[in-house]
Amino acid sequence: MATIDVASARADTPGCNTVVHLNNAGAALPPQPVLDAVIGHLELEATSGGYEAQGQASEQAERFYTAVAELIGAQADEIAYVENATRAWDMAFYAIPFRPGERILTTTSEYPANGIAFQQAARRHGVRVDVVPDDSHGQISIDALKSELAAGDVRVVAVNHVPTHNGLVNPAQEIGELCRAAGALYLLDACQSVGQLAVNVDEIGCDLLSATGRKFLRGPRGTGFLYARRDVIETLEPPFLDHHAATWTAPDTYEIREDAKRFETWERFVAGQIGLGVAAGYAAALGPHAIEERVTWLANRLREQLSAVPGVTVRDRGARRCGIVTFSMEGHDPDDVVRLLLEHGINVSWSRVSALQFDPAAVPIVRASVHYYNTEDELDRVVDTLARIRPDTR
């Protein structure tokens, strides 16, 4: 298996010179090729005009579709460019033709934006939202999911691949196998997994997958994509259409395009699309499995180090864990820890319990999320800083 050239990756990442960045689950540091692509196109727009720049850069923009498809094992016509992961997920979810009495199955760790959408669908269509319980590891219980699917009336299984507030990885492939056997639609929110884990849609078996550019993929903010399997695209009519997603064929008729671009809109952040394509190609060139191996190794190392710090409790669950490391510190609220680390040039984040309505076990946590460009010395610096924090520094 290929290994990551960390020195080269850091040389490609200007932010590594100024900060210890452990907030990659929020927004990763972009590499220089992504910066160059985005800034270069913005400069082209400034000197030649937006429409004209788009025409000149059409090949670079189209390259986005093949780059993302290659990264996740899809076909280019199954990829849509969307302005963020939430909107990509929305375009898929709100396209599902729900009928009264049907059920939505989800996880205890579902993202708040998705949870709100579930409740809106329940009100609009008379569907039911059922939360599948966790197993002993804290991830979605495959046995419970199998029972729920056997009970019938399941229209969609909509789950996250990696929760935002925990280091676990949900068993996406096992979920896919059960959904196919039951004939249920499978919508996977992969905003926290694409870019840090090797994600292959055929192996997972999902029908729909949404992801963002700004997190582990290291793309621009305000970018995302949707994957839609060819054989489900025609069954889904997006919640809104424009003259890019459909053709106005007569005063009273229109035809929706047959590929995943039916989920797009004509107006878009072209520089962002180009930059996201470059980011996907950058990740593919490094190798998703090599990225996953290093990210997982760094995260496990950090967990071990944090566990040795007095007053620090690592909160991660899951049989399989990823690059998100969560912990709490006795005598300090998570936002205090974030602030204190920031004062030492270290970026981390924290999670609010109020955003996790399906998870009764959730507690406020600090979230440190590593990436392949982080170093052991940076992890040591984080741990040493935490070890020096005393209750009277609050």
SS3 271: helix
- Stretch among 162-176, 363-377, 379-393 having the lowest mean pLDDT: 379-393
Last residue of a domain, one of 249, 269, 285: 285
Q: 353 pLDDT band (50/70/90 cuts)?
A: low
| Residue 113's CATH number | 3.40.640.10
- What's the token pair of residue 332? 């300090």
Note whether 103 and 230 are same-domain residues: yes
> What contacts 97, CB < 8 A, 6 or more positions away?
235, 236, 237
The pLDDT, as a whole number, for residue 351 is 83
- Do the Cβ atoms of 10 and 18 come closer than 8 Å? no
For the sheet containing 365-369, what is the strand order? 312-314, 324-329, 365-369, 349-351
Using alpha carbons, list the distances in angstroms from residue 285 to 172, 196, 253, 279: 24, 14, 45, 10
Note whether 298 and 320 are same-domain residues: yes
Q: What share of the chain is helix, strand, coil (3-state, %, to 5)?
A: 45, 20, 40
- Stretch among 217-221, 248-252, 362-366 having the lowest mean pLDDT: 362-366
The pLDDT, as a whole number, for residue 392 is 47
* pTM score, whole prediction: 0.95
- Residue 68: its H or E element: helix 58-72
Residue 1 placed within a domain: no
Note whether 273 and 312 are same-domain residues: no
pLDDT one-digit tens code per residue, 246-276: 999 999 999 999 999 999 999 999 999 999 9
The pLDDT, as a whole number, for residue 32 is 98
Residue 184 placed within a domain: yes
Closest-CA residue to 317 (of 332, 306, 303, 305): 303
Note whether 150 and 277 are same-domain residues: yes
User: String of b and e for 41-70 (b: at least 16 CB within 10 Å)?
Assistant: bbebbeeeeeeebbeebeebbebbbbbbbe
Note whether 63 and 208 are same-domain residues: yes
Last residue of a domain, one of 251, 269, 285: 285
Using alpha carbons, list the distances in angstroms from residue 290 to 3, 287, 294, 371: 5, 5, 6, 12
Which 3-state string (H, E, C) describes 201-230? HHHHCCCEEEEECCCCCCCCCCCEEEEECH
Last residue of a domain, one of 285, 310, 329: 285
| Residue 384's CATH number | 3.90.1150.10
- Structural domain count of the chain: 2
- Residue 175: its H or E element: helix 172-182
Note whether 297 and 235 are same-domain residues: no
The pLDDT, as a whole number, for residue 354 is 61
Closest-CA residue to 228 (of 80, 48, 73): 80
pLDDT one-digit tens code per residue, 9-48: 999 999 999 999 999 999 999 999 999 999 999 999 999 9
The alpha carbon of residue 227 and the mean position of all alpha carbons in its chain are separated, in whole angstroms, by 13
DSSP codes joined into one string, 103-133? EEEEETT--HHHHHHHHHHHHHH--EEEEEP
Gap between the Cα atoms of 277 and 290, Å rounded: 20
- Residue 6: its H or E element: helix 6-11
Counting every residue, how long is the chain? Answer: 394
Q: 352 pLDDT band (50/70/90 cuts)?
A: confident
* Domain ranges, residue 374: 6-30+287-393
Quick one: how many helices (H) and strands (E) in the chain? 14, 15
Note whether 276 and 300 are same-domain residues: no
Note whether 385 and 336 are same-domain residues: yes
The pLDDT, as a whole number, for residue 57 is 97
Note whether 257 and 381 are same-domain residues: no
Alpha-carbon radius of gyration of the chain:
21
SS3 370: coil
Note whether 210 and 336 are same-domain residues: no
Average pLDDT, the chain: 95
Note whether 270 and 308 are same-domain residues: no
Note whether 381 and 333 are same-domain residues: yes
